[in-house]
Structure 1
Amino acid sequence: MFKKNKRVSLLNYWTSRYLLTLFVGLAIISFISAAWIRHTTFQNRLELMEFLADETLYRLTDTSGLNGPMGAIPGFIGDRERFTMREIDPILYVVDTEGNILTSNRPIPPGSPKNVKDLLDGEEGTKKITKMNEGQSTAQYVVKRKIEKDNKLVGWVLVLEKKGNLTKVNQAYGQLALLIGALAVLGWGAVYLLSKRLTHPIKQVAEAAKQVQEGNYTFDLPQNNKEEEIYELVTSFKEMANRLEQLEKTRTELLAGVTHELKTPVTSISGLLQAVKDGVVTGQDASEFIQLALVETTKMKTMVGDLLAFNHFAVDAIPVKLEAVNINQLVRDAVTQWEVVQDDETVKIQTHLLPQSVNVQADVVRVQQVVTNLLTNAKQAMQEGIVTITLLEKDDTVSMTVQDTGHGIPQEDQAFIFERFFRGENKKYAVRGLGLGLSLSKMMAQSIGGDLRLQESDPSGTCFELSLKKATTL
């Protein structure tokens, strides 16, 4: 069996990871800072030892002038506290050239060696030495300065301190730990608040998505988000929900509409034929009833054909035959074909063709179907008037506009006119049909490399634009 993954909230997920990243970063900073503090402290204390050695040498030479015996030189060093430092407490020796300790800043313990000759190598400077004590090695640093009289070496000033004392910085480590701890708390608080601010609108969108899943498209999402990505997420989700709501309404209307549109001719045919069969009408009336039944049959065949054509185009099952066609002649033929089947002349067609011959890449049958559908829609939109077809040559396309003088398409319907099975309020009850005409026409236009779009629509009329690619010339 598959084990179900345990889900965690977005706030906990990102906060924990941000916090881990923060702690790792602070740990690295702490390590580097501690090493830097240790190194800096060590260097500073070595400099203090060197300063002590230089100061002692200066006082010795300045006080006695090296005129008396060597035993009198360090007479002022007896006060140990005079040379005690706050951070360290080094040992200071004044020795002769043989390494015998003449004096020190602290009493020499009984049994300790009175000679430090092994520390003298004839050179001044700072040196690290390792001293063995009861089998354990102890690192020390010694600062050496020469005592000279008349350019002649008469003794040495030695300052010694253990390495552990030079690098001991407990107080600084404590301050560093306090600072890092404060930064960790502050960083965690900032990360938590920022993550909470980020996840709040996402949680709202998630809750709204659950409502949409349950069929409820009425919800409230804030639109005052300052973050661009969050604002786009919320706005896009609301637009998606509105579109889903519209599609849901369209689906519901589709079932009722298709049922009604197909039921009506079936009922009419059944009633007309039943009247003829039962002898309710005879002679010429019976022939007229049969003719009416044939008309209703033709209407039903047309609607079923539209459904089949739409399904075929939706799955790209209809082959398209592209060829180079003169656009002016194509428009003339399409208009003539449409006018022939009209039973009245309430709608006039005006054409404005191109001044010169231009070939387009098109399927003649499909283009004529699109033009026929646009002209039929224009006629349905007005009792009488003029439909103007205008051709305009562009860079690599030819634009065909179909402008009527009807009542226009309501603003709220314009975004959905190319949706399958959508029928606006103006046509829903006035004109029978399935709402596939514009959707199918757009598919046909796109199948030949062109496009169909609504250019504009207002109470003074509607204009559609059909664009076709120019035929390539060899």
Structure 2
Amino acid sequence: MDRSLKQTSMLSYWTARYFIILCIGLLVFAVAAVWWTKQQTMDSRLQTVEVLAQDIADRLDGPTGDVVIPPDLTKLLEKRAHYFQLGSGICLIVTDLSGKLLYASDPVTQEELPYKLNDSLDKAREPGMKAITAPITHQEEKIGQVTILQPTKPLTRLTDVWWAFGLALLCLTALGWLTIYLLSKKLSRPIRMVASAAREISQGHYGISLDAQTKERELGELIRSFKEMAGRLEQLEHSRSFMLAGLTHELKTPVTSVKGLIFAVREKVVQGEEADEFLDIALQESVRLERMVADLLDYNALAAGIVHLERDRLDASMLIGEIVYQWRLLQGELLQEPSLCLPEQQVYIAGDSLRIQQIMVNLLNNSLQAKHPDRALQLDIALRVHAEAAEIVVNDNGCGIPVQEQSHIFERFFRGEKKKLALRGLGLGLAFSKLLAKAQQGDLVFNSSTEEGTSFSLLLPLADSQHQDAN
């Protein structure tokens, strides 16, 4: 069952998740830090109690080797406990070498003494108590023992540390959340602008304005690429409208012409030989219209990939010679014989002979249409063999292609200004020829064009055996 994905803003999405992750991370860190601090604090305070026990033990060494209990021992213990912040509840017990109870800061009987001083029962003696002992020595001989029973709770009291640590965690959490909030806000702003611009383009408004300034390279590249895409789409939309208008005009002109001619004959506006001449003109216009429609259908079919192309092993020199010969016959005697420069060895290419002929004839017709009025048309056709492909070069000495039009010659429906005035057509010849070449794993390349002439190259893959020979 499909479920719609609930979407939220990037600002809310990232800040919420970052805040949760930050809190979990800081909580784990806090627990570990508190445990470690607690252990370090306990060890430090136990060492302090040990120092206190040893200090009291040194004070109990009498001059005759007996344990002497000073009368101010209780006050001394209270002062030391207050000074070292050991808290209340500590119990000081002094015994002699035989274990006899000599002093206890809290009421303790001799019978209770073994239980309190039994090291094996230290952990189970009293909940929350810790026993620290220090020997009383006289001339390096033990004469008694001082034992301090210290509650463990004061040892691990971290009230001040807790407040400081909690405040630090709160500040880190707020700072981290503010950081990700500002970063997310900065990142989401240009993305929202691009999304808004995309919606404008989807509605057909291409004149968008993206003024987002960002120092991030990736976001800058996204904005620049989107601007370029929007500009290109606007240009393509303008070209589409312009080309559609041109296409409509080119198709409408012969239809109108044929309609007018046939109407004139039917209404007997013209009769006899003149009527026959009108019908012949109408037939020519119909043929031209049929050719333009066929070109349009062929281009669309090839662009959609539904045209089947053969991949035969062809003799390139023989194929070029036959194509040029047939084309030359259709042009009459006024055209000079094209110059062929073919290699002596046989060159085999892989392709569709009919489609190669279409490309070659289109190039030759374009050269014929570009004939310079002050000089005879001269065509030079050469076949060159490279490591990966065969190159058929077609050069002419025509008028050339204006520089501003050279980058558009392979665009569909594009026609130069001079060609629009001189000939009817759809501007699909070179675009269709390039598609045909690419469909045969080759290419049609524009080499150069000046006032002295134009040069194109048709690249076609070598046949397998020829390719092995070339290598």
The TM-score with structure 2 as length reference comes to 0.84
Equivalent position to 1:445, from 437, 440, 452? 437
| Counterpart-to-counterpart distance in 2, 1:359 and 1:168 | 94
* 1:434 CA drift (Å): 1.7
| 1:237 is aligned to 2:226 | yes
CA change 1:284–1:204 in 2 (3 A) is same
Paired AA for residue 155 in structure 1: G
Alpha carbons of structure 1 residues 277 and 343: separation in structure 2 relative to 1, 3 Å:
farther
The Cα of 1:22 is off from its aligned counterpart by 1.9
Q: What is the DSSP-based 3-state SS (H/G/I as helix, E as strand, rest coil) of the residue aligned with 1:25?
A: helix
CA distance in structure 2 between the aligned counterparts of 1:459 and 1:8, rounded to whole angstroms: 62
Structure 2 residue 135 is matched with structure 1 residue 146? yes
> Aligned partners of 2:449 and 2:356: how far apart in 1?
22
CA distance in 2: counterparts of 1:267 and 1:122, whole angstroms:
120
Paired position in structure 2 for 1:34: 34
1:435 equivalent in structure 2: 427
Please state how far the C-alpha of 1:298 moved relative to its aligned partner. Answer: 1.3
Q: Secondary structure at the match of 2:305?
A: coil
Report the secondary structure of 2:123's partner residue: strand
Q: 1:202: how far off?
A: 0.7
Task: Give the corresponding residue for 1:467.
Answer: 459
1:215 is paired with a residue whose SS is coil
1:93 match: 93
Alpha-carbon spacing, 1:52–1:326, altered in 2? closer, same or farther (3 Å): farther
Residues 214-245 of structure 1 deviation map (CA, whole Å, 9 limit, x = unaligned): 22211222475432322232222222222322
What do the CA deviations read for 1:40-66 (whole angstroms, capped 9, x no partner)?
2222222222333344445555xx4x6
Match of 1:329 in 2: 318
**2:393 corresponds to 1:395:** no
User: CA distance change for structure 1 residues 88 and 332 in 2, over 3 Å: closer, same or farther?
Assistant: farther
Matches within 5 A, 1:338-349: 338-342=327-331, 349=338
Counterpart residue identity of residue 387, structure 2: D
Q: Which runs of 5+ in 2 are unaligned?
A: none
1:24 to partner: Cα distance: 2.0
CA distance 1:427–1:241, change in 2 (3 Å)? farther
Residues 77, 103 of structure 1: 8 Å contact kept: no
2:283 is aligned with 1:294? yes
Can you give the 5+ residue segments of structure 1 that lack an aligned partner in the other structure? Answer: 133-137
What is the Cα deviation at residue 175 of structure 1? 1.1
Q: 1:220 to 1:386 in 2, by over 3 A?
A: farther
In 2, Cα distance between equivalents of 1:7 and 1:287: 73
Q: Is the 8 A contact 2:58 2:137 kept in 1?
A: no
**Kept after mapping to 1: 8 A contact 2:409/2:430:** yes
Q: 1:314 to 1:98 in 2, by over 3 A?
A: same
Residues 392-415 of structure 1: per-residue CA shift (max 9 Å, x gap): 43322223344455442554772x
Q: Are 1:69 and 2:69 counterparts?
A: no
Q: Among 156, 162, 166, which residue is 1:167 paired with? A: 156
Partner SS for 2:148: strand
Aligned to 2:79: 81
Note the 1:238-387 alignment, pairs <5 A.
Answer: 238-342=227-331, 349-354=338-343, 356-383=345-372, 386-387=378-379
1:118 corresponding residue in structure 2: 115
Q: Does 1:408 align with 2:401?
A: yes
Q: What secondary structure is seen at the aligned counterpart in 2 of 1:69?
A: coil
Report if aligned partners of 1:403, 1:463 keep a CA contact under 8 Å in 2. Answer: yes
Distance in 1, Cα, partners of 2:451 & 2:96 = 117
Residue matched to 1:129: 123
SS at 2:331 equivalent:
coil
The separation in 2 between residues aligned to 1:165 and 1:347, in whole angstroms, is 115
Structure 2 SS opposite 1:446: helix
Per-residue CA deviations over 1:86-107 (Å, capped at 9, x if unaligned) read: 4424544332235444346xx4
Q: Distance in 1 between matches of 2:165 and 2:333?
A: 96
**What secondary structure is seen at the aligned counterpart in 2 of 1:341?**
helix
Alignment partners' CA distance in 2, 1:431 and 1:22: 73
Deviation at 1:174, TM superposition (A): 1.3
Q: Matched residue pairs, number? A: 458
Secondary structure of the equivalent of 1:432? coil
**Cα deviations by residue, 1:252-291 (Å, 9 ceiling, x for unpaired):** 2343233222221122222223333444444443333222
User: Alpha-carbon deviation of 1:366?
Assistant: 0.7
Percent identity between the aligned chains? 36
Match of 1:102 in 2: 102
Whether the 8 Å CA contact 1:74–1:103 is kept in 2: the answer is no
Whole-Å separation in 1 of the counterparts to 2:193 and 2:116: 77
Please give the alpha-carbon distance, in whole angstroms, between the structure 1 residues aligned to 2:429 and 2:21. 59
8 Å CA contact 2:94, 2:101 repeated in 1: yes
Contact kept, 8 Å, 1:101 with 1:116, in 2: the verdict is yes
Q: TM-score, normalised by structure 1?
A: 0.84
Are 2:196 and 1:207 equivalent residues in the alignment?
Answer: yes
Q: Which amino acid aligns with 1:49?
A: V
